[in-house]
Amino acid sequence: MSRSYEDTLLEYLQNYMKIARKVKEIVKKVDPNARVYVFGSVVKGKYTAASDIYTRGNGENQRKT
């Protein structure tokens, strides 16, 4: 990874709530009753440029398996 790419990724991770809000906005269009949860290293503040932002949705339209 290039340094500028890593810096960009770290900036996204530092602003994970902004991204989570956008995910929630999109999910709510499909299921207005859905809840979106963010979890993983980003929430704990232990992220690196290789980390992801994990979300989990829970709502009426969730497929039951």
**What confidence tier does 60 reach under pLDDT thresholds 50, 70, 90?**
low
- Amino acid at residue number 63: R
Residue 62 — pLDDT band, cuts 50, 70, 90? low
Query: Which bin fits 32, alpha (ψ -120 to 50), beta or left (φ > 0)?
Result: alpha
- Residue 22 in tokens: 């956008």
Q: Which amino acid is at 29?
A: K
How confident is residue 65, by pLDDT bands cut at 50, 70 and 90?
very low
The whole-number pLDDT of residue 61 equals 57
Rounded average pLDDT over 34-57: 78
| pLDDT reported for residue 25 | 92
- pTM greater than the 0.75 cutoff: no
Question: 27-45: b or e for each residue (b if 16 or more CB lie within 10 Å)?
Answer: beeeeeebebebeeebeee
